[in-house]
Chain A
Amino acid sequence: MSALIILIGFSLLAALGFLGAFVWSVRGGQFDDDYTPSVRILFDDTINPLPSDKSTPQTASK
């Protein structure tokens, strides 16, 4: 069943690529800080923030 060989080949290729990306991200310190990133996206850093009904983000309690 050669199509299976091809599909498994491509799937392994994708999986290995993702594994490589994973190793890269771990060694690059992407996951050293697993809290700040979730807060950082709440700020857009715009000079003139667009009107919003919320002024400050609420931090989720843990």
Chain B
Amino acid sequence: MSSTIAIDAHPPVVMDEFQYDNKIVRNFAIATVLYGLIGILVGVLIAFQLAYPFLNFELSYTTFGRLRPLHTNAVIFAFVGNGFFTGMYYSAPRILKAPMWSKKLSYFNFWGWQAIILAAAITLPMGLTTSKEYAELEWPIDIAIAVVWVAAMINLLMTMVNRRSEHIYAAIWFYIASFITVAMLHVVNSLALPISLFKSYSVYAGVQDALVQWWYGHNAVAFFLTTPYLGLMYYFLPKAANRPIYSYRLSIVHFWALIFLYIWAGPHHLLYNALPDWAQTLGVVFSIMLIAPSWGGMINGLFTLRGAWDKVREDVVLKFMVVALTAYGMATFEGPMLSLKSVNAISHFTDWTVAHVHVGALGWNGFLTFGILYWLIPRIYATPLHSQKLANFHFWIGTLGIIFYAVPMYWAGWTQSSMWMQFTEEGLLKYPNFLETVIQLVPLYILRGIGGVLYLVGFAVMIYNLLMTAKNGTLVETETARVPSVASSWKPSKGEYWHSRTVERKPVLLTVCALIAVAIGGVIELVPTFMVESNVPTIASVKPYTPLELQGRDIYVREGCYVCHSQMVRPFRAEIERYGEYSKAGEFVYDHPFQWGSKRTGPDLHRVGQKYPDSWHYNHMEDPRSMSPGSLMPPYSFLLDAPLDTATTAAKIRAMQTLGVPYEEGYDQIANRDLMKQADQIKGRLKQSGIETQSDREIVALIAYLQRLGTDIKGNNGNVANLN
């Protein structure tokens, strides 16, 4: 008797073909380079403006206060943002082995993002700003950002759903976390009550506004400048080195630890400010914990090159990436140190913070972007890099630029802090005139500017190099890929329900949709309940701004005065001696938005009210050096002639009423009457000092605001009133 043995035939492997889109990558790369150039150019200009005030050109559009937000937005959202998209649109399809889900969404992302950047470049110099650092754009642009950003997120998530690779590589996790978190941060921080197409008031006030702003400000750094770029690092460093990441297991720990810890560290931007102590401590504790995952990422990247350091000597791409990771390591060690209260007491408001920020931005974000571009452009143009020598020159002069930038700023920070805090043996301030500390910094500001120029030169060399590389080759618009189809590569095991592809699709979308839904619900339910009725303890003597003061305040915001001046006297002996009573949380309850600032290039202004006569302010705005010899402040002579737009007064009062500021019912109808009365009084006082002006000029409103600052808790004799 014979028998036959049945042999199971393995099903044939089916191959799918699809195309990678290099054109979208090329487009984003061009945008990255273009805006990087602009961002750095503006940065160099404003660096030298601080040393040579005439470089403000006495125009409102080009004063430091308006250009500094332009610089930060250009570098962060234009350069780094486009850099992220360049890398994401190249890496995500190749990792997931699927083309981006929607070509239309990809190009909507591209053109939408460029339109937003253009809108920012127009509105910021025009003085249209919310004054929230890294979030200065007005409400229509904020909406556009949310839409374009979420569209890009959907594109990536759907590509992930359609992936042919079962495993989701670490880089993709970083991208997704960035998209989700930034969307949430952006929406919450941007909540504002519009009064016109380009003017709005933050729904939060004072302390609460500061909290929300720096929760955003810290996490914008975390989830816009850090996590997306860590994702890029996890893809492009192994590709450039042609070696797998040192420890993929470590990348998993790195990612999940990082995103859990980052979100809590925001309060470390507000130490010693008028914020509850426990919230400050929370921020500090989580900041210290952040060292571990941050350094885990740095170690993972650098150790990938273990045993291949000879390659780093030869390969300029790897050189850039090594310095980027080292800068990341330095910045993420320094950040936690700066969050310790004793260190923060020294560094806050000084140029030390500027040094810290720029090690991260120039080194980590800048150099990683350069490494990626030098690796990527030759590939998509199918030709070698035009000049290795020029790339190496860029590397060295860029590194020098970072050093020349950061070292003087560290020095400046220490100089500022020590001069501000020093007392004589007799117990008096050793440097009572704030201007003495400013003048001391001028040589350091010049050196910092030179550092910026060096970095800019390197950047320009890169542009030439990449342009010549592109010219030498031809763009490979699409690359055809052949990959086993989903059916061939996914083998669900019997009983392994969780490996089922249909189930794996849904939890991601469910998580995202649930988060979005709950976030929207949270906003709608929580904001009106909590924000309109402020829970900050009130001080009886604190009153809403008068209509003229409110108009003056909006001029202060428009000109970006907060960029150089803080309004926060900390409870240090030196600050109380220098400025007056330390700032109380209850003094800011009507400040929509808060104006504490984060930098003291000039003195703190919280107690400046009634300190100088009206005529002093008038002359000071016209020519700061006439009242303060050696001052670095730009002239604001255009405010002397600009007419005050009183047509907006009623709308502003109504907006404030909606936000909970207790103006009496119907006050908007008579606000302009009170405004003109107060303006006439200021006009009269100026006339007594020999200054002729009309009462409806912007300078009058600004003087009204400045004279109001910090006076609520002063008695008539200028001393601090009894607060019981």
B242 contacts A54, C-beta separation under 8 Å: yes
Pick the residue among A1, A14, A40, A52 that contacts B184 (CB under 8 A): A14
Which residues of B are found within 8 Å of A14, using beta-carbon distances? 180-181, 184, 263, 515
CB of B249 within 8 A of CB of A34, answer yes
B482 A45 Cβ-Cβ under 8 A: yes
Give residues of chain B (524-539) contacting chain A, Cβ–Cβ below 8 Å: 526-527, 530-531, 534-536
- Which residues of A are found within 8 Å of B165, using beta-carbon distances? 40
Judge if B264 is at the interface, Cβ distance under 8 Å. Answer: yes
Asked if B252 contacts A34 (CB within 8 A), the reply is yes
Task: Verify if B670 is at the interface (C-beta below 8 Å from A).
Answer: no
Chain A residues positioned under 8 Å from B166 (CB to CB): 29
Write 24 A-B pairs (CB below 8 A) sorted by A numbering: A1-B208, A1-B211, A2-B208, A2-B531, A3-B207, A3-B209, A4-B279, A5-B526, A6-B522, A6-B527, A13-B184, A17-B180, A28-B507, A29-B166, A30-B167, A35-B244, A37-B169, A37-B248, A38-B245, A39-B244, A41-B169, A42-B238, A47-B482, A50-B479
Query: Given A24-B507, A42-B239, 6 more contacts at CB 8 Å?
Result: A3-B209, A28-B507, A37-B169, A41-B235, A47-B480, A48-B480
Residues of chain B in range 353-394 having any CB-CB distance to chain A below 8 Å: 379-380, 382-384
A60 contact from B170, B181, B306, B511, Cβ within 8 A: B306
A15 CA / B527 CA spacing, docked (Å): 20
Q: Is the CB–CB distance between A29 and B181 below 8 Å? A: no
In whole angstroms, how far apart are the Cα atoms of A10 and B535 in the complex?
19
Per-position 1/0 for A1-28, Cβ under 8 A of B: 1111111011101110111111011011
Which residues on A sit within 8 Å (CB–CB) of B238? 38, 41-42
Partner of A48, one of B235, B479, B518, B527: B479
What residue in chain B is nearest A47 (Cβ atoms)? B480
The answer, among B279, B511, B531, B534, for a CB contact under 8 Å with A17, is B511
Interface size for B (C-beta < 8 A) is 78
Question: A45 → chain B, closest Cβ, in Å?
Answer: 5
Cβ–Cβ < 8 Å partners of B304 in chain A: 60
A13: chain B residues within 8 A (beta carbon): 184, 515, 518-519, 522
Q: B83-139: which have CB < 8 Å to A? A: 94-95, 97
Q: Nearest-CB distance from A59 to chain B (Å)?
A: 7
With both chains docked as a complex, state the minimum distance between the C-beta of A42 and any C-beta of chain B, in angstroms: 6
Partner of A50, one of B170, B242, B382: B382
Which partner residue on chain A sits nearest B245 by CB separation?
A38
Query: Shortest beta-carbon distance, A30 to chain B, in Å?
Result: 6
* Chain B residues closer than 8 Å to A1, beta-carbon distance: 207-208, 211, 276, 279, 535-536
Whether B481 lies near A45 (C-beta < 8 A) is yes
Asked if A10 meets B511 with Cβ closer than 8 Å, knowing A57-B242, A60-B307, the reply is no
Question: What are the residues of chain B within 8 A of A47 when measuring CB–CB?
Answer: 17, 479-482
User: What residue in chain B is nearest A52 (Cβ atoms)?
Assistant: B379
Residue of A1, A22, A33 most packed against chain B (CB within 10 A): A1
Taking CB atoms, residues of chain B closer than 8 Å to A51 are 382-384
Residues on A with C-beta less than 8 A from B97 are: 45
Centre residue among A20, A34, A38, A59 by max chain B CB count within 10 A = A38
Question: For the complex, is B243 an interface residue (Cβ under 8 Å from A)?
Answer: yes
Q: A38-B244, A42-B244 are in contact. Are A5 and B530 (CB under 8 A)?
A: yes
- Chain B residues contacting A48 (CB-CB under 8 Å) are 479-480
A residues less than 8 Å from B248 (CB atoms): 34-35, 37-38
Instruction: Assess whether B220 is interfacial by the CB under 8 Å rule.
Output: no
Asked if A20 and B379 make an inter-chain contact with CB atoms under 8 angstroms apart, the answer reads no
* Chain A residues with CB under 8 A of B144: none
Contact A15 B260 (CB under 8 A): yes
Known: A14-B515, A24-B508, A60-B307. Is A46-B480 also a contact (CB below 8 A)? Answer: yes
| Chain B residue nearest in CB terms to A15 | B260
